[in-house]
Structure 1
Amino acid sequence: MKIVSSIKTRLSVMLCCLYFMFTSCSGPVPASRITDISDIKAEIDLYQSLTDENDNSISVSLYDRKGKMFGNDSVKISVNGKKVEYRIIQGLYYTKSYLYHTEKIAPENNKYEFQIQLANGKNFFLGSVPSLKLSSSRNIIYDEEAPLSKDFSIHWSGLQDVNRLYLSKSVKVNTKEKSNIETFMEQPGDTIKIGPTGNYTLKKENFSKPGETLSILGFEFTAEKTGTVNPQLLKGSSIKINGYHDEHVNFK
């Protein structure tokens, strides 16, 4: 009886493995069977330069009700009346990604608006997001080379729409062995909520830790916005835009 029970258990485990393998490897629902906007989850991501609104990159990913990414030439997406190109990206182990991508699309009336046409010819509003207001990195004031012996401060003003500051550190690792080769290490960054005008000071006591010396401090002044998607889309649908000014300071 124990042998029979063991065989049944192994068969059950094997069948479960085959089931999960089949479901994980099965493809998305064919585009022709997507007949309504309510059958889709859409993730729309935009990057826009903060110094040139026409310098942008736009990507749209579509998913079916099972969470499978899908796409097809028969499903068309446009932004501000311009076609978003459909692409198939070949990944590792025969995996594929289906992506709609385009670049350098000018905002109209200070926004990006997306439409989708399904394979059955139905047209729907997909989503919209405001464009980012332009600003100049010349409004970010700091010493490009700073001494380790003093507190470091950075000031900014007029950075319209900027609402996040990402800080990153590169440190020199101090070793006991004498060597002509210096070792550097990137450390996890911090995120600070900021406004268009402000300042940030890093105390000299925080420059270094035992065995490490601060080498480079990076500042990414980022503008992030979320927009509005068609409420009939599946849960988890989103549209967001970001852009940034990237600065750094070297410590001596």
Structure 2
Amino acid sequence: MERTRGRGRDRAVRTTGLAVSSVVAAALTALLTACGPEDNADADAGVRPAEKASTAARPTPTPTPPRTTESPTPAPSPTRSTPTPTPPPQAPPSPARTTRPAVPTTISMFASTQGGRITLERGGPAQEFTVSVHNGNTRAYPHLRVALQMEVMTGEAASPDTNGLILERRDPATGAWQRADLRVANDAYPHHLYPNGTPLAREASRVDRYRLRALGEGPLGSTPLLIRLVDTSAPENAPDSEAVPRRTSLMVTVT
């Protein structure tokens, strides 16, 4: 019985609470409806003008240009002065060379052959020899001649004219062998009687090639072949040392 009564009380309380809640909710709704949207707009308008005024009053900030960070200019480094090279001390000028006068030289002549002497067989082959002449710096010769002479050879089938020998000279222009003069006598021949020779300038040279052969019936024996360098342009009364500046000889043996 009591449980039934308690349950009835709880239900009555719940019903009463629900009724009160409904009344409160209805009152709030009516209040909100009476205000309307205009009141909310006015409320908003009352706030926003002030905000707008404050916004308009605020000055627009001027944009600050970005700072340019200037790099510090490096201080100029001190210029190194290049030392001027000091030229090496110059040696004192050498004394002027005095040109020494040329040592005077004179003409020279020599004869050569294989073995140093001429050895012939009667009727055999000829043997060559050369006569070389080199002039000095003293003077030039307008006429020089190589003169060859032999003494008379005595013996079987002697030939006084040529000693049974044939002398030839090689022509340097053509290369041909030509008969040359061979004087056979026991005396000296004067220089001014020789035919004119050929010119030879200062410090010039020349080489003459000769060959000598013995006839089949010539004399036997040995005698020197005298070779004289004759200046045919020398005065007639010139001493022998001037008219014949050089002389030499080769031994000739005929077997």
TM-score by length of 2: 0.30
Q: Which is richer in strand? A: 1
Which structure has the larger Rg?
2
Q: Which is richer in helix? A: 2
